[in-house]
Chains A and B, each alone.
Chain A
Amino acid sequence: MTSPTTPAGKRVLSVRDLTVTFQSERGPVEAVRGVDLDLYAGRTLALVGESGSGKSATATSIIGLLPPGARARGEVLLDGQELLGLDDRRMSAVRGRRVGMVFQDPLSALTPIFAVGRQVADAVRVHSKVSKQAAWRRAVELLDLVGIPRPQLRARDFPHQFSGGMRQRVVIALAIANDPDLIIADEPTTALDVTVQAQILEVLEVAKAETGAAVLLITHDLGVVAGHADEVAVMYAGRVVERAEVGELFATPAMPYTLGLLGSVPSPEATRRLPLVPIEGEPPAPSQRPAGCPFAPRCPLVRDDCRDKEPALTEIRQRHDVACVRAADVLGRRPEDVFARAEEPAVAPAPAAGPVLRVNGLGRTFPVTKGAVLRRRVGTLQAVSGVSFSIRAGETFCLVGESGSGKTTTLLEILRLRPPESGTVEVLGVDVAGLLPAPERRRLRQAVQIVMQDPQGALDPRLPVFELLAEPLRAAGYAAEATRDRVVEVLDLVGLPRDSLDRFPAAFSGGQRQRLTIARALATKPRLLVLDEPVSALDVSVQASVLNLLARLKSQLGLAYLVVAHDLAVVRHIADRIAVMYLGHIVETGGAEELFAQPRHPYTRALLSAVPIPDPERERSRERIVLRGEQRSAANLPAGCVFADRCQLRPTLATDLQELCGTRRPLLEQSGGTTVACHAV
């Protein structure tokens, strides 16, 4: 745990005045500007910031893996040895031996054509002259340490035969292969599901305990920081703007940006849903930083002198440094005191009409085939089975679950507006399986619109905004005049300026682009918006304003939302009702309040317990359910409950009940506030 006294461990790394310059089309750009950091053995320093804040550039310059064309200046001392300016050969003696690194995306971090055991063994042999057999034995040991089951056998498998979580374990094994003094973890769990995230963070703790190394944890997730960091440095626009012990930082932040970050994170534990406290605007691009404090344009406490000179990082309390002239005024205040909370949207009058969408017993299978020339079917992948739910106007329905649980397949089946493989889909009371006249089908098409995860990929970069927004209208048969009016209307609706009509998507920031995709979806006056991970590609401070926009639009227009999201804090914030999916089945469904307050299904409980809470004290003291193993393949569903093999409740049950779990699949039944498919509740 954290203590206010000086850390006991030995100082492993000290970074002084680190500046990283990238070459860009507009001349040199400083990604990192004068960063100081100290890392101590056995302690974790979290580097927090949004994209473009310079946190990854800091990490890669420490380990000497900056891309060509980037230059680092300053001082990076590892046990007194200067690392900056070492040539590649001498730096490679440090890399892997003294400093290990874990990367963000485990799917691409391993060489696809070598067995994982060989990759770990190679990492051992880079730095120590041991025989191939000895290195292999050590590799198996390491794979065992990071929790790969049957390491003896699995060491011979190739990366594509492992799941994302398992690959990340292998990457951690690579990083600790030579017992490093420093482990750098760059967003190690961002690409993973929450339950897997919990496992990986545990493995990182094991790795830290095993090696006694200092850990530099780079993340944007304040929940992860609260649970696993000893010290936190918050970065903004290439500088550390606040640095403190983790408890101190969460309790009494002194920089308005930190305060804003804490306010814009939806908490999975919130009892009542209030609009989030967003930070207005977006982080400045590295090439267009304002003079003075870079946060000044977004800061509600800005004074004139903020814009003149950039404040230096100064100690305001013991072991608490901050770069802000208003620090004294920020201390002790809560986000909602400083930032304007968005207005609470007026509750829309409950529309009397029937459900906008009704799904009954939806099922979808995919054939598993073998053979290259003559494909033959060797099995069936049951992606979605017996999914039923309905959504009324003005309601948000969320599907949650890990990847592979069938959420996206469900969405796609609904969006097809064609007869599903099994079950029925009704939109606005019309069964899509029926023989519909073309105009009726077009009406349904317009009534259901989608907002995708990545606005960058969803908008054609070669169309200006007007064309992007007019396209769905023209397809719907709007006249030129009406199209122009409607385009301006939806632009106002999502809060984008009218002068953006002739600009291209590249001219907008991530949050604005997501507003554009929402505007595009709204153009044809849909009744149901399908949102596939609507904010997961956005920075935390930007997420809040997009979530608030969605809430406002819903009550203003009486829309129904069907949302797929993996971030349960976000789900907690926007959902009215939730369905938890596991292996293509809904295992629990009910009102958001009831489900979060009193989850009944063991899987729901495990899922909710895996979400880190952005509060160090509660995050560290609460009891957590960490699931063993991984979701099985949907190609061979068990006869009984789909969750039985990982269920934490099952071993505690009576023998006959345990057997029932293994032989009969439970049906959804009302239990307490929610509907649950479990024999034991």
Chain B
Amino acid sequence: MVRYVARKAIGWLAMIIVATNATFFLASWFLDPRSNYRELRPVRTEDQIAHALAPYGLSPRWSVVHRWWYWLSGVVLHFDWGHSPTGVPVNSEIPRRALVSGQLILLGVVASVVIGVALGVYTASRQYSLADRATQTLSVVLFNVPTVVSALGLVLAAVWLNQRVGTTVLHVAGANTAGVDGTWATILDRANHLILPTVNLTLLGYVGWHLTQRSLLLDALGADFVRTARATGLTRTQAIRRHALRASLIPTATSVAFTIPAVFTGAIITETVFGWEGMGRYFTETIAKNDVDGVVAVAAFGAVATAVGAILSDVATVVLDPRVRVS
């Protein structure tokens, strides 16, 4: 098992290196850091701009290969992922933003999976009942609601509630309120800020889990081995729980592992609407600001997260399904 994971990890590492370097060249080709200075007043000359960019290894006077080499040696020798065109170090942005995205989205993913899978299991064992039809209709409707609409809807509802009550019951923007002191106060404040975006992510996220888990379990319910299990004397509920459910959870578990990258690469729209400075927003901002180093770092981070998810998903399959042998 350890050897298997190690072998997988080496394969992924090679992939990450290739993908990251390829991204560097693509980004250098499409993004022009000079434009960040062109809008400034007084107007800078090309010389001045090149001079300003040179300390960050972004000088347009250098060839692409030269810039790449500068960037690569920084990464390899000092683990320095470079700077934005205005001189903000990438290394100072990513860990902070990854944590912000992490706390926001982890909760959303966990809630989505738990609610979605539970609903899927509940409705699959009561196929075509009123509860099944009602939840399915709701899920299909939510499935078709764009994130922006649901997020803004939640904000409007929260604002209305706050006005009715006359005090801020639910925070609608940011990750925390400035100037809150004390452990408990901080925790409560942060938790309050988490509520709305988490609800939004869950509302849109649980749908997929609900519908796939429902159909996976329905497949397993009709399987011959569930009938065999009932023939040995298990009630329907017991047979579903012991035999059908576990078999039907295998595909779910592997896809849950694959959503882990999303936890750290962020949710662009939700972060934007609720004003969270997470990875999702960093991604859009770096592109908008022609921040080559930032874009490459986001890509590398995403690749690592994907690799971790893929390896976790392989491990989950091996653990859950005895038919898969690793050797």
Contacts and interface: CB of A to CB of B under 8 A. Distances in A.
Interface of A: 63, 65, 88-89, 92-97, 100-101, 103, 105, 108-115, 122-123, 126-127, 158, 160, 171, 174-175, 177-178, 370, 373
Contact of B233 (A92, A105, A112, A160): A92
B323 interface: yes
Contacts of B228: 101, 103, 109-111, 171, 174
A373 B320 CA distance: 21
Interface of B: 7-8, 11, 223-225, 227-238, 242-243, 246-247, 250, 320-323, 327
A108 B223 contact: yes
A126 B224 contact: no
A174 B225 contact: no
Contacts of A100: 231
A126 B321 contact: no
7 contacts: A88-B236, A101-B228, A103-B224, A111-B247, A115-B322, A123-B232, A126-B232
A126 B234 contact: yes
A100 B234 CA distance: 12
Given A88-B235, A123-B233, A174-B232, A109 B323 contact: no
Most chain B C-beta atoms within 10 Å of own C-beta, residue among A97, A100, A101, A111 = A111
Given A112-B323, A113-B247, A373-B7, A63 B224 contact: no
Nearest to A100: B231
Contacts of A95: 230-233
Contact of A122 (B227, B232, B247): B232
B121 to A, nearest CB: 17
Contacts of B243: 111, 114
Nearest to B324: A372
A370 B229 contact: no
B199 to A, nearest CB: 36
Given A108-B225, A113-B321, A158-B322, A65 B230 contact: yes
Contacts of A127: 233
Contacts of B321: 113
B225 A126 contact: no
B232 A96 contact: yes
Cβ-closest 6 pairs across A and B: A96-B233, A123-B232, A96-B232, A108-B224, A126-B233, A101-B231
A132 B169 CA distance: 55
Given A65-B231, A178-B233, A110 B225 contact: yes
A588 to B, nearest CB: 37
Contacts of A174: 228, 231-232
Given A105-B224, A160-B323, A370-B327, A111 B231 contact: no
Contacts of B227: 65, 103, 109
Given A112-B247, A373-B11, A177 B232 contact: yes
A506 to B, nearest CB: 21
Given A105-B224, A108-B225, A89 B235 contact: yes
Nearest to B236: A88
Given A111-B243, A373-B7, A175 B225 contact: no
Contacts of B232: 95-96, 122-123, 126, 174, 177
A664 to B, nearest CB: 35
B318 to A, nearest CB: 11
Contacts of A113: 246-247, 250, 320-323
Given A109-B225, A113-B247, A92 B234 contact: yes
Given A63-B231, A373-B8, 11 more contacts: A65-B227, A92-B230, A95-B231, A97-B233, A103-B231, A111-B229, A112-B225, A123-B232, A158-B323, A171-B228, A174-B228
A95 B234 CA distance: 8
Contacts of B242: 122
Nearest to B249: A113
Nearest to A91: B235
B127 to A, nearest CB: 8
A411 to B, nearest CB: 29
Most chain B C-beta atoms within 10 Å of own C-beta, residue among A103, A112, A115, A373 = A112
Contacts of A63: 231
Contacts of B246: 113
B252 to A, nearest CB: 14
A126 B238 CA distance: 10
Most chain A C-beta atoms within 10 Å of own C-beta, residue among B224, B243, B320, B327 = B224
Contacts of A177: 232
Nearest to A89: B235
A109 B243 CA distance: 12
A93 B230 CA distance: 10
Nearest to A184: B231
A177 B233 CA distance: 11
Contacts of B7: 373
Contacts of B237: 88
Most chain A C-beta atoms within 10 Å of own C-beta, residue among B7, B223, B225, B227 = B225
B139 to A, nearest CB: 23
Contacts of A96: 231-234
Nearest to A126: B233
Most chain A C-beta atoms within 10 Å of own C-beta, residue among B223, B224, B232, B243 = B232
Nearest to B247: A113
A160 B325 CA distance: 12
Contacts of B224: 103, 105, 108-109
A192 B223 CA distance: 20
A96 B229 CA distance: 9
A171 to B, nearest CB: 7
B11 A92 contact: no
Nearest to B327: A370
Nearest to B250: A113
A109 B247 CA distance: 14
Nearest to B243: A111
Contacts of B238: 92
B118 to A, nearest CB: 21
Contacts of B230: 65, 92, 95
Given A158-B322, A158-B323, A373-B7, A111 B225 contact: yes
Contacts of B233: 92-97, 123, 126-127, 178
Contacts of A122: 232, 242
Nearest to B7: A373
A158 B242 CA distance: 16
A220 to B, nearest CB: 19
A373 B223 CA distance: 31
A326 B228 CA distance: 42
A158 to B, nearest CB: 5
Contacts of B247: 111-113
Contacts of B322: 113-115, 158
A111 B327 CA distance: 24
A64 to B, nearest CB: 9
Nearest to B4: A372
B225 to A, nearest CB: 4
Nearest to A371: B327
A456 B90 CA distance: 62
Nearest to B226: A111
Nearest to B227: A65
Nearest to B238: A92
